[in-house]
Amino acid sequence: MKILVINCGSSSLKYQLFDMEDENVLAAGIAERIGIERSLLKHTPGRGERVTLEKDMANHKEAIAMVLEALTSEEHGVINSFDEIDAIGHRVVHGGEEFSGSVLIDQPVMDALKRFIALAPLHNPPNIMGIEACQDILPSVTQAGVFDTAFHQTMPARAYTYGLPYDLYKKHSIRRYGFHGTSHKFVAKRASQMLGKPLEELKLVTCHLGNGASIAAVDAGCSVDTSMGFTPLEGLIMGTRSGDIDPAIPVFLMDKLNMSSSEINDLLNKQSGVAGISGVSSDFRDVEDAAARGDKRAQLALDAFYYRVIKYIGAYSAAMNGIDALIFTAGLGENSPEMREAVCDSLTYLGVQLDKDKNKVRGKEGDLAMADSPVRVLLVPTNEELMIARETKEIALGLS
């Protein structure tokens, strides 16, 4: 079975084609600058060299057509015809309260996705465009929606309810949803295999630390709390996002600095986080390098980032009455021994004992805890595309 995984942004479209017999990636790539001049497709066939194909793509439909052309082309193709694609899995950011798992896309699902545009105005519209483009070009192929929010739908009301008038939840769906669910689910499942214990017997804290960052409390395989909220702005300090702040700050910015809602939105999402504190970069590598050279603001940005990670892990350990394992994933989680050490050094009270030699690793799966550490520390590279492909396969098999 061959499955195409699509992840659409407003001007980009990432794709991977999987052969599900061995979960091998047959081809992967990204269409960039869709709807902008000089659009291009970067396509990597299997183990071959990456090729860059330049051609204007006015919209996502033209981008999908170009992806399919590349996948079937004589020079860099990996399949003979579109008929070899058995199903398409789409990453969809927001599934609201309606979707607690992945779904076969049909008209009622499309209607729901359109309703959720109000909740994810930047993300759901390009996701919908990608689905519609595939429906137009490949109308007979099974399509599945895999939601960033779905895994967190198991959160109890006490975790997802804000201290706001209840009517705002009932009338406007304002509550915690959480994001990165596909990644938290993937690494939690993998952790259970690595530990040789069923998920039902494990209390895990999964730390997805990349440019966007979130932490989840996973009890018996179910997300019971997570740091991102109504939007992906809440929680940890991120590359350019503020994470948690006093909710009175935007009001102050409006009243005292005359800032508009869109200026505040831009400030909190694009000019804050480690970039805003350090003034150096949103890329943790640059911030780590600057801190190592003695840049005090860069060091402060890292310290503030670590401190909040440590606080959330403590909070989730309290929420679950202890933890069995801490899992690090995503760009920073997988690649920064310095960050893992700084975090774990403050968690010895929980029984976290990091093996500093084993921690000298980047991007490679492993158990980084001391042999007798009561709490395991796992590095699990995330693979959201593979998770989407697996979920899509389940849905396609359910139809046959």
Report whether 120 contacts 93 (CB < 8 A): yes
Q: Which residue stretch of 81-89, 134-142, 292-300, 328-336 sits at the interface with ligand AMP (rule: CB under 6 A)?
A: 328-336
Q: Which residue stretch of 126-134, 137-145, 154-162, 330-338 sits at the interface with ligand AMP (rule: CB under 6 A)?
A: 330-338
Residue 186: name the closest of 394, 381, 393 by CA.
381
Asked if 364 is part of the footprint of ligand AMP (rule: CB under 6 A), the reply reads no
Examine the residue annotation and report whether 324 is marked as an active-site residue of this protein. no
Asked if 210 is part of the footprint of ligand AMP (rule: CB under 6 A), the reply reads yes
Sign of the CA dihedral with 190 first, then 195, 199, and 204 last:
negative
List 207, 309, 330, 347, residue binding ligand AMP (CB under 6 A): 330
Closest approach, Cβ 288 to ligand AMP, in A, equals 6
Q: Which residues contact 67 (CB under 8 A, 6 or more apart)?
A: 13, 15, 29, 31, 41, 43
What's the CA gap between 13 and 29, in Å, rounded? Answer: 8
Asked if 206 is part of the footprint of ligand AMP (rule: CB under 6 A), the reply reads no
Q: Which residue stretch of 27-35, 221-229, 327-335, 366-374 sits at the interface with ligand AMP (rule: CB under 6 A)?
A: 327-335
Residue spans of alpha helices (H) in the chain: 60-72, 107-115, 124-137, 157-160, 166-172, 181-195, 248-257, 261-270, 273-278, 284-292, 296-320, 330-335, 337-344, 384-399
Tokens describing residue 256: 């005292």
Asked if 285 is part of the footprint of ligand AMP (rule: CB under 6 A), the reply reads yes
Q: Which is nearer to ligand AMP, 57 or 332 (CB)?
A: 332
Asked if 186 is part of the footprint of ligand AMP (rule: CB under 6 A), the reply reads no
What's the CA gap between 371 and 280, in Å, rounded? Answer: 38
Q: Which residue stretch of 29-37, 67-75, 281-289, 369-377 sits at the interface with ligand AMP (rule: CB under 6 A)?
A: 281-289
Closest residue to ligand AMP, based on beta-carbon distance: 331
Please spell the DSSP secondary structure of 91-142, one letter per residue: EES--TTT-SS-EE--HHHHHHHHHGGGT-TTTHHHHHHHHHHHHHH-TTSE
Q: Which is nearer to ligand AMP, 138 or 207 (CB)?
A: 207
Report whether 397 contacts 87 (CB < 8 A): no
Report whether 342 contacts 306 (CB < 8 A): yes
Asked if 284 is part of the footprint of ligand AMP (rule: CB under 6 A), the reply reads yes
List the catalytic residue out of 111, 148, 225, 286: 148
List 85, 326, 332, 380, residue binding ligand AMP (CB under 6 A): 332
Q: Which is nearer to ligand AMP, 241 or 390 (CB)?
A: 241
- Interface positions with ligand AMP (CB under 6 A): 210-212, 239, 283-285, 288, 330-332, 335-336, 362
- List, by residue number, the catalytic residues: 148
